[in-house]
């Protein structure tokens, strides 16, 4: 048996349902040794709505599921019959396995310690923001620098009539 990684295309928002159905197939004795692993690559993101922070999952590849399996006629049709599954990523004749380097790169990203969820919001230099958390709460400031890899930014805030630079986390500010 040669087990490779394949990409299964699903309807939008059916990735998790397809994953759970594939995992159910993995527990079936007929497929237990043929379907090995299923991944829906995601990352944590912060969404701020009405001054409330929520951490959600965002899919790296919406509409796609990765499956490590031994592809034969039986497993091909078992996967294709799953509700919400459209097809395998293929060259129009047969499904194309992913390269090991591609899978390794994706797994490395997923295994990296995600110390901070990424905010969905993007900021621009010279944009005016309101501070919603911390000691400078309710003050306004103008964006001076943005540090996206740290999810922080530097605002110029007027305190006691003097412009003062303040470094804040993305989650501590909101757009006007």
User: What pLDDT sits at residue 119?
Assistant: 63
- Report the chain's mean pLDDT, rounded to a whole number: 87
Are 109 and 136 in the same domain? no
Q: Of 103, 118, 133, at which residue does a domain stop? A: 118
Are 36 and 76 in the same domain? yes
Number of domains in the chain: 2
User: What pLDDT sits at residue 79?
Assistant: 95
Are 114 and 125 in the same domain? no
Are 36 and 112 in the same domain? yes
Give tens-digit pLDDT for 19-46.
Answer: 999 999 999 999 999 999 999 988 877 7
The residues, any chain, with a CB within 8 Å of residue 167's CB and separated by 6 or more, are 152, 153, 154, 155
| 160 φ/ψ sector (left φ>0, alpha ψ -120 to 50, else beta) | left
Are 87 and 37 in the same domain? yes
Are 87 and 7 in the same domain? yes
Helix orientation angle between 15-27 and 73-80, rounded to the nearest 10 degrees: 140
Give tens-digit pLDDT for 129-151.
Answer: 998 888 888 899 999 999 877 78
Range of the domain at 29: 3-118
Q: What is the CATH number of the domain that holds 138?
A: 2.30.30.30
Question: In the numeric block, which tokens belong to residue 59?
Answer: 């899919």
Q: Of 71, 91, 118, at which residue does a domain stop? A: 118
């Amino acid at each position: 048996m040669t087990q490779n990684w394949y990409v299964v295309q699903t309807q939008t928002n059916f990735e998790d349902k397809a994953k759970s159905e594939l995992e159910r197939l993995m527990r079936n004795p007929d497929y237990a040794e043929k379907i090995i692993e299923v991944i829906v690559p995601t990352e944590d993101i912060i969404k701020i709505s009405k001054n409330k922070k929520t951490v959600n999952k965002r899919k790296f590849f919406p509409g796609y599921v990765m499956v490590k399996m031994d592809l034969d006629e039986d497993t091909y049709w078992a996967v294709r019959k799953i509700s919400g599954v459209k097809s395998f990523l293929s060259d129009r004749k047969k499904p194309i396995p992913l390269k090991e380097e591609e899978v390794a790169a994706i797994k490395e990203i997923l295994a990296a310690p995600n110390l901070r969820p990424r905010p969905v919001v993007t900021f621009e230099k010279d944009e005016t923001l309101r501070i919603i958390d911390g000691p400078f709460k309710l003050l306004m400031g103008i964006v001076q620098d943005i540090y996206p890899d740290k999810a922080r930014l530097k605002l110029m805030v007027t305190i006691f009539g003097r412009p003062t630079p303040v470094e804040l986390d993305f989650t501590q500010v909101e757009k006007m």
